[in-house]
Every structure is written in C-alpha cells, then in structure tokens.
C-alpha cells in the first residue's frame, strides 16, 4: 500500500503544478460554479463566500492554478450539502480534482463528470447518489481519470464495462458499499498499466471472478467481499503478482486453497477468504509468504492439519481459522517464532491434545480463542507470559481442573473477557480467596460445567465484572449479600442450579436495578473477537441486555414474592 500511497501523493503534487487553462474570473467558470450551487438544496455555508460579485478563485473550497487561472479543484467534503450535482461542473475545463465526499447529495452522478477530459480525481464517496452509471461514451477524447471513489452511495445496475481504453491512467477505483449488480468490473485491467487498487466489496456482483484481473499486473489491492461471487479463484488472478491485499470474504467461492498458485503472490500481506466454501488443506507453501500479516480463512470447509510452515510467517498478526474442519495437534506449528501474533482464533475445529507450550511465547497476543475443539489437559502456568492477553476463550474444549485453570490465569492481569463454558465437567468450583487477580475481568462465563459448590467468595473481588454466566451447573447454597458490591454487574445468569434459601434483599440493591439509565454509560467499542454466549453473539458490551435470571433453582417462593412485590 505504501507505493500506492506514494503514487497518490505524487499525483496531488502534480495537481498543484499544472499550467493555466482559462481565467478563473471568466464568466463561464463562475457561471458553472453558480449553476452547481443552484442545484443544491442545502448549501452549508457556501453562499456566504460564493457571491457573483467576487473572484470565484477566492470562494470557499475552490482552488485555481497559480495566479487567478482556471478552477482546478473543487473540494467540498463534509459541508452538509444536499441536492443534486449539476452537470455544469463538467464545464470547468481545467478541473482536476473534485471532492464532494461525506455530504448528503442525491440524484445521479452526471455522466459528463465520469467521462470528463480533465478530471483526475473524482471522489463522491459517502453520499446518497443512486441510479446507474450507464456506459462510458466511446467517442470522447482520452480521459485522465486516475482515482474514482464512488463508495458508500446507492448506485445500482451494472458497472460500466466499455470504453475504459480511453482511461489509461487509472490507478484506483473504490465502488464499495453500493448495490451494483452483474459481473465484477475488470475491463480497465487491459488498458491501465498503473491500475493498483480495486474495491468493490458490499455490492451485489455475481458470477465468477473475472480472469481479466490477472492482466492487472500492477494490482496491489483487490477487495470484493460481501458479494454473490461463485466458482473458484481463476488461476489467472495469481498473475497479478504485486497483490498485497486479497480480500474476498462472504461470497460463494469454492475450490482448493491452491498452494502452487498462492506462492506466486509473494507480496501478500492480507488474505481474507472467510465465509466461503473453500476446501482441502491449508498448503505448506503458505510458509513462503514472508510478508503475511493477516490470514482469515474462517467459516470454510478446510480440513487436515495446520502446516508446520505457518510458523515461518513471522510477520503474522491475525490468524483466524474459526469454523473449519481442521484437526490434528497444534504442536505441529512452532508458535515461538510468531512474535507479532495478536489474534489467534481456532474456534470450532477438531484440534486435539494439549495446547503447545510455544503459544505462550507469543507475548503480543491480545485475543486467543480455542473454544469448541477437542483439546485435553490443563493450561500451563506459562500463559502468564501473555502480558497483553485481554480476551481468552476456552469454552467447550474439554479442559479439566478448574482450580488449576483459575490459579494459572490470575497472572493474566489484562484479561477482560474470560469464557470457559462447557469444560471442567462435574468438578467442584474452588471458593477460597487464594483465587485472585482478575481485577479487569468484565465478562466471565462458566456455564454448562455441572460444577458443584457454593457461589465462591473470590467472585466478590471481581469488581469490574459486568457479565456473569454461571447457569446450568449444580451450585448449591444461597445467594450471598456481597452480590450488591459488584457495582457494574448488569447481566447475571444463575439459572438452572440448585441454589436455595431466601433471596437476599441485597439483590434489590444491585446498582443496575437502582438506576434507570445504567446502560447509557456502557462502552460501545467492539470486543477483540465476537463473544458467543449460548446461541447469541455480542460485539460490544452495549449489545448485552440487562439480565437477572434466577430461574430453575430452589429458592423459597415467599422470598420471590417479596422481591417482586
Ligand atoms: C456548458 O457550457 C456550454 C457552452 O458554454 C453551454 O452551452 C452549456 O449549457 C453548459 N452546460 C451546463 C450543464 O451548464
Ligand atoms: C476528499 O476529502 C476527504 C475529506 O477531507 C478526504 O478524506 C479524502 O481523502 C479526499 N479524497 C481524495 C481523493 O483526496
Ligand atoms: C476515496 O478513495 C481514494 C482512493 O483510494 C482515497 O484517496 C480517498 O481518501 C477516498 N475518500 C475518502 C473520503 O475516504
Ligand atoms: C473504500 O471505501 C470504503 C468506505 O466506503 C473504505 O472503508 C475502504 O477502505 C476503501 N477501500 C480502499 C481500498 O481504500
Ligand atoms: C447469486 O448468484 C447465483 C448464481 O451464481 C444466482 O442464482 C442467485 O440468484 C444470486 N443471488 C442473488 C441474491 O443475487
Ligand atoms: C496468466 O496465468 C495463466 C494461467 O495461470 C497462464 O497460462 C498465463 O501464461 C499467464 N499470463 C501471463 C502473461 O503471465
Ligand atoms: C467439505 O470438504 C469435504 C472434503 O474435505 C467434502 O467431502 C465435503 O463435500 C465438503 N462440504 C462442502 C459443503 O463443501
Ligand atoms: C521453536 O522455535 C524456537 C525459536 O526459533 C526454537 O528455539 C525452538 O527450538 C523451536 N522448537 C521446536 C520444537 O522446533
Ligand atoms: C509487540 O507489540 C509492540 C507494539 O504493539 C511492538 O512494539 C513490539 O515490537 C511487539 N513485540 C514483538 C515481539 O513483536
Ligand atoms: C462444542 O464443540 C463441538 C466441536 O468440538 C461442536 O460440534 C459443538 O457445536 C460445540 N457446542 C457448543 C454448544 O458450542
Ligand atoms: C475427543 O478426543 C478424544 C480422545 O482424546 C476422543 O475419544 C473423542 O472421540 C474426541 N471427540 C471428538 C468430538 O472428536
Ligand atoms: C488440579 O490442579 C491443582 C492445582 O494446580 C493440583 O493441585 C491438582 O492436583 C490438580 N488436579 C488434578 C486432578 O489434576
């Protein structure tokens, strides 16, 4: 991406050095701008400076070349503009740079702008433009367009597929977050040797990935996720050997993750093929992608063991293999070399045996999810080496010895989310205060473990706790009065246990029940990984409902009535 960024910077530099075309003070330039203004129904603060009596080069958002020449730039991003874009803008024959992004402009994009003989950068992203773009006229002279950003609008219909041979300087197209249909665009690959970035994600493109993309020899970024693409990734695409970012998640793609092809893309930093139907093994050759930082292969049909070579991708930061049929031992991979690893998600696979010690060398890990596998054994005390670990899920993975687990985890001071449901089956929950630490834990789940014992005293020290799920165990005894001291607790599920006795009045004193707008202060930042509890998925603390579930226990009925009454 860096060389692409450089190209854009150079381009902006060039824009400031161009020679005069027409005088800015000419009535035609001014007239075109005023017609554009007239097309807007809400004009932000523009009319204050855009007065016909003044030199239009001094108007807000307008730049001219050097000494009062032609209008070369119209930069009106985030001005609160509404209404339509007048085709009169295309009459500014020296206009190089048009930026109307982040407004609320509606209607169509005038075709004159797309086929302009002067515009180099056209950015109308983040508006409410709609309709189709039509085809580009083939009769026009060459178009200098380099950057087209029409993302986050409401465009529909097919993407123009003809006459791109007039646009030889094209560098980047961002058409993401629209509703384009038909075949994914690629015609410009043939005629634009400098083409480097194509983003068409979040549209309704269908059919297969065009083989023509392989002719985009300069392509660095290809993003086409969240469409309806099908078939395999054509061999030709791997001719685009400069690709750094290959992102095709959530389509209907299938086929093998081909090892011989993938090593042709030595510059790959990001691979995202999640949410498709790729099958077969993860190839050994992946270890040759030395620049790889993110590997997202989640929710596919991959099988077999992890290739040992993964450990040689030492730049990896994110490895997401959730929801496949991967199996075998994790020990295959020597994680000690992957010191940049921040997120490792292995949820819902069939990995077996112990967690390899080498994982505990990845001291930059912030999120580790091992849930829904078939691991065995106990966690090593070396997990305390993971000083940045904030999210840990061990749920549903045949872990044993809850006492040991809690003791080894108490050194993980940064933990905020600790998910351990469906493990430790039939064990007794320790209740002494030698279990400590966990000062920052906000979400704790230990449901479905058939645990016996009382609600343990050490829980009373988890003062950051917001979400606590101990449902579906065999806990006995009563609810202790210290429950009200958990000041931030707003999701408490104790259902389906053997708890008994009176409900303490302290329950009524829980801050969540005392305050009406308790949830207003909740953090709405996304978790490192989505939290799954039961059949629900939560992305932020804000997504959790307020819950106090005491059902299916053995509480005395009178006390329930007192609580409600
Ligand atoms: C553009 O300029 C031409 C010639 O001056 C004029 O006839 C035409 O109406 C203008 N177009 C728009 C959309 O203002
Ligand atoms: C348009 O303006 C916005 C806001 O200033 C900016 O983020 C964006 O990069 C600009 N577009 C181009 C192509 O320079
Ligand atoms: C539109 O895309 C171009 C090219 O990628 C980029 O330079 C520009 O910043 C984008 N505009 C916004 C508002 O993000
Ligand atoms: C395209 O635009 C979207 C916003 O609409 C942005 O999130 C995305 O990063 C852009 N793509 C590229 C390759 O810059
Ligand atoms: C997705 O593509 C398939 C063919 O590949 C087509 O049958 C189906 O109608 C498309 N679905 C949508 C929602 O466009
Ligand atoms: C592109 O890839 C195809 C299939 O892999 C191959 O046959 C062809 O020779 C390649 N073309 C170029 C120009 O490299
Ligand atoms: C998943 O892969 C296996 C082979 O590994 C294959 O037999 C099965 O049909 C695939 N399932 C789907 C839904 O593609
Ligand atoms: C794993 O890698 C580390 C660091 O490179 C090395 O010291 C260790 O011997 C390796 N372990 C195995 C089992 O290969
Ligand atoms: C861990 O991350 C920090 C910054 O987040 C970085 O400076 C450091 O180099 C990383 N450590 C390793 C071993 O990669
Ligand atoms: C538990 O893990 C197994 C795979 O080991 C999976 O099939 C099952 O759906 C998981 N159950 C829950 C409740 O997540
Ligand atoms: C889990 O592993 C044990 C042996 O370690 C095996 O007996 C059991 O069948 C495995 N369960 C699943 C669901 O793979
Ligand atoms: C569980 O862990 C504790 C503390 O580490 C240890 O004393 C005990 O022997 C372990 N129990 C079993 C069954 O492994």
Q: Look at the domain 391-398+414-565 and name its fold.
A: 3.80.10
Digit-coded pLDDT (tens) for 388-436: 999 999 999 989 999 999 999 988 999 999 999 999 999 999 988 888 8
Contact 369, 342 (CB under 8 A): no
Contact 177, 202 (CB under 8 A): yes
- SS in 3 state form for 457-510? HHHHHCCCCCEEECCCCEECCCCCHHHHHCCCCCEEECCCCCCEECCCHHHHHC
Taking the CA of residue 174 as reference, the ligand 4 atom at the shortest distance is 1
Taking the CA of residue 398 as reference, the ligand 11 atom at the shortest distance is 1
Q: How far does the centroid of ligand 2 lie from the alpha carbon of residue 98, in Å?
A: 10
End-to-end CA distance of the chain: 64
Which CA distances in Å does 30 have to 19, 62, 254, 538?
A: 19, 11, 55, 53
Q: Position of tokens 């994982």?
A: 359
Among protein residues, the one with the nearest Cα to ligand 9's atom 14 is 340
Which CA distances in Å does 331 have to 301, 328, 354, 393?
A: 22, 9, 8, 19
DSSP lists the bridge partners of residue 174 as: 149, 199
Which CA distances in Å does 162 have to 196, 233, 295, 409, 477?
A: 19, 24, 35, 61, 75
pLDDT band at residue 457, thresholds of 50, 70 and 90?
very high
Across the range 546-565, mean pLDDT stands at: 75
Ligand 2 near 127 CB (within 6 A) = no
Q: Ligand 12 pocket by C-beta < 6 Å: which residues? A: 401, 403-404, 407
How high is the pLDDT of residue 16? 43
Among protein residues, the one with the nearest Cα to ligand 12's atom 3 is 404
Ligand 8 near 327 CB (within 6 A) = no
How high is the pLDDT of residue 557? 67
Contact 201, 225 (CB under 8 A): yes
Report the distance separating Cα 211 and Cα 449, nearest Å: 52
Across the range 71-89, mean pLDDT stands at: 96
What integer best gives the mean pLDDT of the chain?
90
Q: Position of tokens 């165990």?
A: 473
Q: How far does the centroid of ligand 12 lie from the alpha carbon of residue 473, in Å?
A: 21
Mutate which of 329, 338, 358, 362 for ligand 8? The one with the most ligand atoms within 8 Å of its CB, which is 358
Ligand 7 near 327 CB (within 6 A) = no
Taking the CA of residue 181 as reference, the ligand 5 atom at the shortest distance is 14
Q: How far does the centroid of ligand 4 lie from the alpha carbon of residue 223, in Å?
A: 9
Q: How far does the centroid of ligand 8 lie from the alpha carbon of residue 334, in Å?
A: 6
Among protein residues, the one with the nearest Cα to ligand 9's atom 4 is 364
Ligand 8 near 334 CB (within 6 A) = yes
- SS in 3 state form for 2-70? HHHHHHHHHHHHHHCCCCCCCCCCCHHHHHHHHHHHHHEEECCCHHHHCCCCCCHHHCCCEEECCCCCC
Window from 121-130, 290-299, 549-558 with minimum mean pLDDT: 549-558
Report the distance separating Cα 254 and Cα 361, nearest Å: 35
Q: Tell me which ligand sits closest to the C-alpha of residue 73.
A: 2
Report the distance separating Cα 80 and Cα 93, nearest Å: 26
Locate 55 and state its tokens. Answer: 């030199």
Q: Tell me which ligand sits closest to the C-alpha of residue 311.
A: 8
Contact 54, 33 (CB under 8 A): no
* Neighbour-count burial of 557, counting CB atoms closer than 10 A to its CB (0-12 exposed, 13-18 middle, 19+ buried): exposed
Digit-coded pLDDT (tens) for 195-252: 999 999 999 999 999 999 999 999 999 999 999 999 999 999 999 999 999 999 999 9
Among protein residues, the one with the nearest Cα to ligand 12's atom 2 is 404
Report the distance separating Cα 107 and Cα 83, nearest Å: 8
How high is the pLDDT of residue 304? 96
Among protein residues, the one with the nearest Cα to ligand 6's atom 11 is 239
Ligand 11 near 374 CB (within 6 A) = yes
Digit-coded pLDDT (tens) for 11-54: 444 444 443 444 555 678 889 999 999 999 999 888 888 987 78
B/e letters for 76-90, b = 16+ CB within 10 Å, e = fewer, are: beebebbbbbbbbbb
Q: CA-based Rg of the chain, rounded to a whole angstrom?
A: 30
DSSP lists the bridge partners of residue 197 as: 172, 221
Taking the CA of residue 301 as reference, the ligand 7 atom at the shortest distance is 1
Window from 327-336, 422-431, 512-521 with minimum mean pLDDT: 512-521
Q: Which residue has the higher pLDDT, 558 or 204?
A: 204
Host H or E run for residue 298: none
């Amino acid at each position: 991406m860096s060389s692409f960024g450089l190209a854009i910077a150079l381009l902006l530099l060039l824009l400031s050095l161009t020679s005069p075309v027409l005088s800015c003070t000419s009535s035609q330039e001014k007239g075109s701008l005023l017609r554009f203004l007239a097309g807007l129904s809400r004009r932000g603060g523009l009319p204050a400076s855009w007065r016909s009596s003044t030199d239009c080069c001094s108007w807000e958002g307008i730049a001219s070349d050097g000494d009062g020449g032609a209008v070369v730039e119209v930069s009106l991003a985030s001005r609160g503009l509404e209404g339509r874009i007048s085709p009169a803008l295309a009459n500014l024959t020296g206009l190089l740079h048009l930026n109307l992004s982040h407004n609320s402009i509606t209607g169509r994009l005038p075709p004159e702008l797309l086929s302009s003989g002067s515009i180099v950068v056209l950015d109308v992203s983040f508006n409410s433009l709609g309709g189709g773009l039509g085809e580009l006229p083939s009769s026009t002279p060459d178009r200098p367009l380099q950057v087209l950003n029409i993302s986050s609008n409401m465009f529909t219909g097919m993407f123009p597929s003809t006459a791109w041979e007039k646009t030889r300087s094209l560098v980047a197209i961002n058409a993401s977050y629209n509703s384009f249909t038909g075949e994914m665009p690629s015609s410009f690959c043939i005629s634009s040797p400098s083409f480097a970035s194509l983003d068409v994600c979040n549209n309704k493109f269908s059919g297969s990935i065009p083989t023509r993309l392989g002719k985009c020899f300069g392509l660095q970024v290809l993003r086409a996720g969240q469409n309806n693409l099908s078939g395999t990734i054509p061999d030709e695409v791997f001719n685009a050997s400069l690709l750094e970012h290959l992102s095709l998640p959530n389509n209907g793609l299938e086929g093998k993750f081909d090892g011989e092809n993938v090593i042709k893309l030595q510059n790959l930093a990001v691979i995202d093929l999640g949410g498709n139907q790729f099958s077969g093994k993860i190839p050994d050759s992946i270890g040759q992608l030395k620049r790889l930082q993110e590997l997202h292969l989640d929710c596919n049909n991959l099988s077999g063991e992890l290739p040992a070579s993964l450990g040689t991708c030492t730049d990896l930061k994110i490895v997401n293999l959730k929801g496949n049929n991967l199996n075998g031992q994790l020990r295959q991979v020597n994680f000690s070399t992957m010191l940049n690893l921040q997120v490792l998600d292995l949820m819902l696979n069939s990995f077996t045996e112990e967690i390899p010690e080498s994982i505990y060398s990845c001291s930059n890990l912030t999120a580790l999810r091992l849930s829904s596998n078939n691991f065995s054994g106990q966690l090593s005390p070396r997990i305390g080496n993971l000083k940045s670990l904030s999210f840990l899920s061990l749920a549903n993975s045949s872990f044993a010895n809850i006492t040991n687990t809690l003791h080894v985890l108490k050194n993980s001071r940064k933990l905020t989310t600790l998910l351990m449901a469906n493990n430790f089956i039939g064990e007794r929950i320790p209740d002494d205060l030698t279990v400590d630490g966990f000062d920052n834990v906000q979400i704790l789940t230990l449901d479905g473990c058939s645990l016996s014992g009382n609600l343990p005293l050490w829980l009373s020290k988890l003062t950051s706790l917001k979400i606590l799920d101990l449902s579906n165990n065999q806990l006995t005894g009563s609810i202790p009065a210290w429950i009200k001291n958990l000041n931030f607790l707003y999701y408490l599920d104790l259902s389906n246990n053997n708890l008994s006795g009176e409900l303490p009045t302290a329950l009524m004193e829980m801050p969540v029940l005392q305050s009406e707008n308790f949830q207003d202060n909740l953090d709405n930042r996304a978790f490192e990984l989505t939290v799954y509890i039961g059949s629900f998925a939560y992305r932020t603390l804000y997504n959790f409902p307020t819950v106090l579930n005491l059902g299916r226990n053995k509480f005395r009925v009178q006390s329930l009535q007192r609580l409600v009454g």
